[in-house]
Structure 1
Amino acid sequence: MIINRIRTFAIASILAFSAATGSAQDLLARQAPVDRRSAAADTIVLQSLRHREEMENPSSDLYPTWENRYAHKATPMPDVYRIDLRGFCMPTPSRVITSNFGRRWGRWHKGLDIKVYIGDTIRAAFSGKVRIVDYEASGYGKYIVIRHNNGLETIYGHLSKQIVTENQYVRAGQPIGLGGNTGRSTGSHLHFETRLCGVALNPALMFDFPNQDVTGDFYTYRSSTIDDESAQATAARGKASSRGYSRENIQGNGQISHGNINHNAVRRQAQPRRTENEQANSGAQMRYYRVEAGETLENVAEKCGVSVEKLCNLNHFGRFTVVRKGQLVRYS
C-alpha cells in the first residue's frame, strides 16, 4: 500500500512539474514577440536620439565646444582618425584648380582654390551644421564654415553671397552660397578648406576636383605620414593635373537645380595611388625630387640641375623656404 502511494505521489509530481514547465515555456513564447517589439522600439529611439544629437552638435566626440567666434581653432588631434567620405557632393562642378595647398608666396595656403565665376552655385560637401557665416575683409571675404558628422569641417571662402544661416542643418549637395571675389582675392574663385580638429588638411587627400569625385569611401588620417601623403595628393590631383584655366573645362556654370547631388558617392573602392616614379613619368613636364635630411633648396637645385628660382616658381616657394626631409619638390 505504501509503495503504491509513493508511486502515485511520484507520478503526480512529475505531471505537475511537466505542466509547470509547459506553462513557463508558453509564457516565454508569448513574451518573445513583445521583447522583439520592445528591442525594435529601443533601437528606433536610440537612432532618433543619435540623429538629434548629430544635428545639434555634429562630431561632439571630437570637438569639446560649439561656438561661432573662430573660423578655426586647433583642438587635441588624434594620431589616427578614419573619415567617412560616403554621401559626399562636390562643392562645385568646376574641374580647374588654380592654386594648390601648401607654401605659396612666402606664406602657407591652407586650402585649394577652384575656378568658379561670380554667381556660380556652391554646395555643401557633406551633411552637417553651419557653424559660421561671416565676412573677413583681409582674408576669406564672405565665407561659411560647416561642421560635419564625419569629423571634418569645411570652409568656403570668397563668396559673393551666403544663403544659409548659422546653426542651420544642411544636407550634402544643398546650395549654401554663390561664387565670388570678396576678401583677399585676385579673381573669382572658391577657396575650399578641409579641417580636422581645426588643423588644415590638404583637400586633395579626399577630393579629386579634376575627376569630380572623392578619393575613396574613407580616408584615414595618420599624423606620421600626413606630409608625404599631402605632397603625393597634390602631385596626383593638384593644379598641374588640371586641364586648363577656361570655362570650356568647367562642367556647366554651376547653376544646378536644388538636390542634384553627385551620385558617384555610391560607387567603387578607392583607386590605388600612383607610385612616385609613375607620377614622375606620367608627363615630361612633371618630375619630383624627395628631399634628404639636411638638404636646402640650393642642394636640391644643384642635384636636379635647375636654378633655385625655378624650384621656387614651380613649387610656389619663397627664396628662403626651408625644405623638410621626405618632402617632394617639383623640379620640371
Structure 2
Amino acid sequence: MQFKKTIKTLALTAVMALATVPAAAQDLLARQAPVDKKLKAVDTLALRELIQREQAGAPSAQLYKDWNNRYAHRATELPDSFSINLKHFCMPTSSRIITSNFGSRWGRMHKGLDIKVYIGDTIRAAFDGKVRIVRYEANGYGNYVVIRHNNGLETIYGHMSKHLVAENEQVRAGDPIGLGGNTGRSTGSHLHFETRLCGVALNPALMFDFRNQDVTGDTYLFRKESYNRESLAATRQRGKNDDLAAANDNNSNNIGDNVESGDVRYHKVAKGETLAAIARKRGTTIDKICKLNHISKNMRVKPGQILRYS
C-alpha cells in the first residue's frame, strides 16, 4: 500500500514538473521579446547612421546642393574634372545589344543608350544610391526611375513597364528597380539608360561596356577639355555594332543580315511592313516572331522598331 502511494506521489511530481517547463519557457520568451525588439531597433538605427555617414562622405554630397523629387534632371555647373568610382557596380540589364547610341539622332540629341530588352525583363540599379524620381511621362521616358548614386552619378532608366521601387528608397547595386517595357515615346521594347553628372548627360559608353557586361575600369575620370573626344572614341569602341550603325544610317531594314549572335537575328521594321510581311521575308512564322518578342499577333509594328526573328 505504501509502495503504491509513493509511486502516485512521484508521478504527480513528474507531471507538475513537466507542466512548469512550457510555462518557464514562455516566461523566458516573454522576457526576451522586448530585448529582441530593442536590439532590432538598435540594428536599424545603426544601419541608418551608417548609410547617413556613407552619404555625407560620398562624392555626390559635394556635387549636389539639393534633393527633390520634382524634376528628372537639371543641369548645373560641371567641375573641370571629376573622378567617378565604378567599383561595386551592376549592369542594368544582362542584354548585350545596343540599338541606339548616345549622340545626335533624327535631328535631336539622344542623351543615353538604348539597350534591347523584352517586356518583363528585370532592370537593376547600377550602383548603390537613393531613388530620387519614380514617375510616368507619356511623351518621353514612359515609366522611369532616377537614382542618385554615392559616386556622384545619377542614372535614368526609361520606358519600363513597371516600377519596383519608391521615391527616397535606398538601393544597392543589383537591386531590381523595374521591368523592361515599351512605355512613353518608344518604338519597341528597350531600356533607355542615361548617366548624368550634375544633371548633364554623359555618354554611358564611357563607363559601361554592355557587349562585355562590364565597366570600363575601376574609375572614370571626367575632364571637360577632353570629354567630347573621349565620348566619340567610346562610341566607336563600345557603342552599337558598326554594321548595325551602317544599316541605320542607310535606313536599312536588313539588320539581321549583318548582326548576329549565334542564331539570334534582328529585323528593323520599315514603313508599311506588317508582321506577316516580315515573317515571309525572313522565312519564319508570325507565331515565332510574336513569341520571341513577347508581343501579340494583333500588335501593329512601327517603323524603326527592332524585332528578333530567330
Deviates more, 1:96-105 or 1:57-66: 57-66
Asked if the contact 1:121/1:178 (under 8 Å) is kept, the reply is yes
Q: CA deviation at 1:181?
A: 0.1
Normalised TM-score (structure 2)? 0.62
Q: CA deviation at 1:57?
A: 9.8
Q: Which has the bigger relative contact order, CA under 8 A and spacing at least 6?
A: 1
Q: CA deviation at 1:79?
A: 0.4
Equivalence map 1:19-58=2 (5 Å)? 51-55=51-55
Identity %: 68
Cα separation, 1, equivalents of 2:169 and 2:57:
11
Asked if the contact 1:55/1:129 (under 8 Å) is kept, the reply is no
| 1:222-262 deviation line (CA, Å, top 9, x unaligned) | 00000000000000000125893779659xxxxxxxxxxxx
Q: 1:147 to 1:214 in 2, by over 3 A?
A: same
| 1:196-226 deviation line (CA, Å, top 9, x unaligned) | 0000000000000011000000000000000
Amino acid at match of 1:236: Q
After superposition, the CA RMSD in angstroms is 2.5
Amino acid at match of 1:186: T
Aligned to 1:244: 259
Aligned to 1:184: 185
Aligned to 2:290: none
Q: CA deviation at 1:60?
A: 1.6
Cα separation, 2, equivalents of 1:91 and 1:207:
10
Asked if the contact 2:55/2:61 (under 8 Å) is kept, the reply is no
Asked if the contact 1:142/1:157 (under 8 Å) is kept, the reply is yes
Aligned to 2:65: 64
Equivalence map 1:197-216=2 (5 Å)? 197-216=198-217
Query: How many residues end up aligned between the 2 structures?
Result: 206
Q: 1:126 to 1:118 in 2, by over 3 A?
A: same
Equivalence map 1:1-332=2 (5 Å)? 51-55=51-55, 59-240=60-241, 244=259
Q: 1:153 to 1:176 in 2, by over 3 A?
A: same
Normalised TM-score (structure 1)? 0.58
Amino acid at match of 1:107: R
Cα separation, 1, equivalents of 2:263 and 2:120:
17
Amino acid at match of 1:168: E
Asked if the contact 1:115/1:188 (under 8 Å) is kept, the reply is yes
In structure 1, runs of 5+ residues without a counterpart are: 1-46, 251-332
Q: 1:175 to 1:227 in 2, by over 3 A?
A: same
Cα separation, 2, equivalents of 1:153 and 1:214:
16
Asked if the contact 1:95/1:249 (under 8 Å) is kept, the reply is no
Amino acid at match of 1:202: N
Cα separation, 2, equivalents of 1:83 and 1:138:
31
Q: CA deviation at 1:52?
A: 1.3
The alignment partner of 2:225 has SS state of: coil
Amino acid at match of 1:131: R
In structure 2, runs of 5+ residues without a counterpart are: 1-46, 245-257, 266-310
Cα separation, 2, equivalents of 1:231 and 1:73:
24
| 1:260-291 deviation line (CA, Å, top 9, x unaligned) | xxxxxxxxxxxxxxxxxxxxxxxxxxxxxxxx
Asked if the contact 2:241/2:259 (under 8 Å) is kept, the reply is no
Cα separation, 1, equivalents of 2:261 and 2:135:
30
Q: CA deviation at 1:55?
A: 4.9
Q: CA deviation at 1:113?
A: 0.1
Asked if the contact 1:116/1:190 (under 8 Å) is kept, the reply is yes
Amino acid at match of 2:78: M
Cα separation, 2, equivalents of 1:249 and 1:126:
30
